[in-house]
Amino acid sequence: MSDTGNTRKATSLHKAEFDPILKKYVYIGTALLMAVTIVGLILVPFWLILGKIYIDKYFDNLYCELTTRALHFKKGIWFKTERSIPLDKIQDLTFHEGPILRRLGLSKLMIETAGQSAQGMADMSLTGIVNARQFREMVMDQRDNITDRGHYSSTTKEHVKQPENELLPVLTEIHKTLQSIDRKLDKR
């Protein structure tokens, strides 16, 4: 990644661990969901036999890492998902514990980003992270560190950190143009 001519690599700050109880939550939750549908009811016996193997592999493929620049997440067995969310795009990390999650000692972090497509919906959710509240604080602190220092993107930096003596001629020219437009409108 290039950042105003310098190559800077993101440094890993924390690799999140997922609670093994998450396996139980997914196993039982999927079985219950299947039991309430006609097609799923037929598949429940297969799930009860093969579901544990599937969940073990799925759990082994879960990965979440906070770096100095982004939050990286990977999951999946057949259909793999990899996401990298730049920290400066994260608007909020909502902490959610429903009664079942709380009973199992789990929680869900829902990540909302700038420019997400559906209003009020999470862009990504992470269930079962060990010490989720602490992880949330680490992500938010690192996001604040980045945004407070003005490390958005190289194009944004050029505009934000432009010295005042370079802006003055541009602003003067804009002012003259606006005055010219105003005079032309007054003649009409």
Q: Is 38 part of a structural domain of the chain?
A: no
Amino acid 170: pLDDT: 81
Kindly state whether residues 112 and 160 are assigned to the same domain: no
Q: Is 75 part of a structural domain of the chain?
A: no
Kindly state whether residues 137 and 158 are assigned to the same domain: no
Share of the chain above pLDDT 90, in %: 43
Distance CA 125, CA 92 (A): 12
Amino acid 117: pLDDT: 52
* Spatial CA neighbour of 108 closest among 22, 2, 20: 22
Tell me the average pLDDT of the chain: 82
Kindly state whether residues 129 and 172 are assigned to the same domain: no
Contact yes or no for 55/26 (Cβ under 8 A)? yes
Contact yes or no for 110/132 (Cβ under 8 A)? no
User: Domain tally for the chain?
Assistant: 2
Averaged over 173-186, what is the pLDDT? 84
Q: Is 74 part of a structural domain of the chain?
A: no
In angstroms, the Cα distances linking 149 to 93, 141, 159 are: 20, 12, 14
Kindly state whether residues 140 and 186 are assigned to the same domain: no
Distance CA 55, CA 104 (A): 17
Kindly state whether residues 139 and 123 are assigned to the same domain: yes
Q: Is 25 part of a structural domain of the chain?
A: no
Q: What is the pLDDT of residues 83-135, one digit of tens each?
A: 999 998 888 888 888 898 889 999 999 998 876 555 555 678 889 999 999 99
Side chain identity at 159, as an amino acid letter?
A: H
Contact yes or no for 50/98 (Cβ under 8 A)? no
**1 pLDDT band (50/70/90 cuts)?**
very low
Q: Count other Cβ atoms within 10 Å, centred on residue 165.
A: 7
Q: What predicted TM-score, i.e. pTM, was given to this entire model?
A: 0.67
Distance CA 176, CA 160 (A): 23
Whether 73 has a pLDDT exceeding 90, the answer reads yes
Amino acid 172: pLDDT: 83
Amino acid 157: pLDDT: 43
Domain range spanning residue 167? 154-188
Kindly state whether residues 142 and 159 are assigned to the same domain: no
Kindly state whether residues 134 and 178 are assigned to the same domain: no
Kindly state whether residues 91 and 137 are assigned to the same domain: yes
